Amino acid sequence: MKKQKLSALLLAAVMATGIIAGCSSTSSSTSVATETSSTAQSSTSVVANTSAEDLTVDVLVIGAGGAGMSAAMQAVQDGATNVLIIEKMPITGGNTVRATGGINAAETKLQEEMGIEDSVELFVSDTMTGGKEMNDEELVTVMAENSSDAIDWLIDLGADIGDVGMSGGASVKRIHRPEDGSAIGPVVLSTLSENLEANNVPILLETTAKHIVLDDNGAVSAVEVEGPDGDYTIYCTAVVLATGGFGASQEMVVKYNENYAGFSTTNHSGATGDGIVMAEEVGAALVDIEQIQTHPTVNPDTSTMYTEGVRGDGAILVNVNGERFVNEMETRDVVSAAILAQPEEYCWLVFDETVRGNVAAIETYISAGLVEEADTVAGLAEKIGVDAATLEATISSYSGYVSAGEDADFGRNTDSMVTDFTTPNYYAAKCVPAIHHTMGGVKINTETQVLNDAGEAIPGLFAAGEVTGGVHGGNRIGGNAVTDIVVFGRIAGTSAEEYVLANGGNTESTIVVETQQDAVPEVQGDYTDGVYTGTGKGNNGDITVEVVVEGGNIVSITLVEHAETVGIYEAAEKAVVNEIIRTQTVDGIDVVAGATNSSNGIMQAVTAALADAQAADAAA
């Protein structure tokens, strides 16, 4: 395999860990990569290629979410020496950073310690039932068989996963999660990030894969990319496509299933289905592409998703009349459909202090002002405009079911009936279903090889995670996304490295990052963690954004609502949002030519949201 010289590749660190935006990229942060100095690597592996020179690697992973990072890490553990991850956003993490609930796994040591009886067969059967039997059973079986090992792998790499709970669609306690109640996505990502960093695996941010290039034999030979400073080519032996789903692309959502036109989304703005388009260009087959999942409990104004754990740990759903209407632990499609069948097509997620104490994520919802609170059920009813007597009656009969150990109305699994609602305060959060997961995608086999319409593998092309289809069939059950990305990400890493060994072997990495952390002053945000919304004036009306602050840093900015002209606001969104995340401030950001009003509107909206983040800081 040919290998080009990188005599003066300019690299600038932009962040120190995988999920938190950090440093500015300036010329003072230069470092030089050479072919020979690979031993001089320092710890920061998240870099930006500020030159537009071509690169050559053995394994190119496209997408720095959970699947891509798992693939890269496993490839390195299998002996790969020249692995590169590219990521189009200014931060890593993708949708994975938003995964809150946990990771499903069967026959694990933790389950055994806790006396939970589970089996691979039961996990397969729950997943197939949840997926309406449309899933590829072979893929599901591989996922279930490797799930316990995935937990051990994550724990060995340093992840805190010490608890097991109930989740919708599972017959037994199977969802593995951090013991301190933290969200699973950030835990998995920071664990993988640290290990990738320790192994000097570079991640090029703001680098978008555009096209996969095949050679004359139809095997992968390169990927054309667009970096911050222009287009270039990354030559490679194997590609792992880990670009996630298309839940943030209204255009693709409507193209594949027009029933979801106009739905809001829980997805990060990079979930635009690029990998599906690129794979199709080189002949990949798609599977179940019209299967799109809504998450039932999403705030209608901010698109904040209330994790399934809130229901798993005891919350109930009531409609605008104050009545329960569904088994809250049913699969997402069933609960979503039930909500849409209620008057006014929304509902309330209702819980008490016991549930609040059990689910750490609830604090974020409360601090973002998304939850109504009262010290009595009647007081809560008044706050949410529901008939107090009906809500009291609903809660009293549910409380009776908890004592009796049987939900006489909807047959809810008693393991999830954790509270009898006798512990004030009482809380309610408004919910609607929103697009959450795209089950369909690129067709793969159990080795994650991407298949064409004839069922043949495209040599050198592997895919894992939400970009693929088949694992979840017609409906993904809660906790299976993280299992999917870790299990199949790891398989993709192994398959890609095996392919490299069979096609020329490993080469030395040419990408070297020197003393990045010393050279580059970190730009850290100084905000209070939470989810904030703000509104600004765009070209055609109001623009509302949701700003997520984690670890003091702005980690995502999502446009919740706007009336801007398609094709114009996207340019503003991409540039302005990326720049704000990169610099952690709205100050000094340039408007995008041709989209001045949209740019200003986004900046105004973010400023308004950040005012709350700072006000919260001042109050704290």
Q: Which of 560, 599, 553, 569 is nearest to 90 (CA)?
A: 553
Residues 463-482 that bind ligand ADP (CB under 6 A): 465-467
Q: In 50-169, at which residue ranges do the beta strands (DSSP E only) sit?
A: 55-62, 83-86, 103-104, 163-165
> Beta partners for 590?
none
- Over the window 557 to 596, marking each residue x when it contacts ligand ADP by CB under 6 A and - when it does not, the resulting string is ----------------------------------------
Rank residues 90 and 322 by Cβ distance to ligand ADP and give the closer one: 90
What is the phi-psi region of residue 27: left when phi exceeds 0, alpha when psi lies from -120 to 50, beta otherwise?
Answer: alpha
- Could you tell me which stretch among 80-88, 171-179, 288-296, 403-411 binds ligand ADP (CB under 6 A)? 80-88
Handedness of CA 154, 155, 159, 160 (dihedral sign): positive
Rank residues 438 and 598 by Cβ distance to ligand ADP and give the closer one: 438
Task: Specify whether the CB–CB gap between 178 and 161 falls below 8 A.
Answer: yes
The pair phi, psi for residue 223, each rounded to 5°, is: -130, 130
User: Closest residue to ligand ADP, Cβ-based?
Assistant: 65
- Over the window 229 to 248, marking each residue x when it contacts ligand ADP by CB under 6 A and - when it does not, the resulting string is -------------xxx----
Q: Which two tokens stand for residue 276?
A: 């599906």
- Could you tell me which stretch among 65-73, 156-164, 296-304, 379-387 binds ligand ADP (CB under 6 A)? 65-73
Q: Which two tokens stand for residue 438?
A: 């795209």
- Could you tell me which stretch among 66-74, 114-122, 372-380, 605-613 binds ligand ADP (CB under 6 A)? 66-74
Rank residues 229 and 409 by Cβ distance to ligand ADP and give the closer one: 229
Residues 139-198 that bind ligand ADP (CB under 6 A): none
Q: Which of 3, 497, 54 is nearest to 240 (CA)?
A: 497
Rank residues 246 and 499 by Cβ distance to ligand ADP and give the closer one: 246
Residues that bind ligand ADP (rule: CB under 6 A) add up to a total of 27
> Beta partners for 545?
534, 559
- Over the window 33 to 62, marking each residue x when it contacts ligand ADP by CB under 6 A and - when it does not, the resulting string is -----------------------------x
Among 63, 309, 479, 530, binds ligand ADP (CB under 6 A): 63
SS3 state of residue 394: helix
Rank residues 69 and 431 by Cβ distance to ligand ADP and give the closer one: 69
| Cα–Cα dist 196/16, whole Å | 12
67 membership: H or E segment, kind and range: helix 66-77
For 413-470, the three-class secondary structure string (H helix, E strand, C coil) is: CHHHCCCCCCCCCEEEEEEEEEEEEECCEEEECCCCEEEECCCCEEEEEEECHHHEEC
Q: Is 439 in the site for ligand ADP (CB under 6 A)?
A: no
- For the bound state, the minimum distance from the C-beta of residue 457 to ligand ADP, rounded and expressed in Å, comes to 20
Q: Is 485 in the site for ligand ADP (CB under 6 A)?
A: yes
Say whether 332 is catalytic.
Answer: yes
Q: Is 209 in the site for ligand ADP (CB under 6 A)?
A: yes
Residues 272-291 that bind ligand ADP (CB under 6 A): 274-275
140 membership: H or E segment, kind and range: helix 137-145
Q: Is 18 in the site for ligand ADP (CB under 6 A)?
A: no
| Cα–Cα dist 418/313, whole Å | 6
Rank residues 266 and 533 by Cβ distance to ligand ADP and give the closer one: 266
Residues 83-122 that bind ligand ADP (CB under 6 A): 86-89, 94-96
The residues annotated with a catalytic role in the active site are: 332
Residues that bind ligand ADP (CB under 6 A): 62-68, 86-89, 94-96, 208-209, 242-244, 270-271, 274-275, 465-467, 485
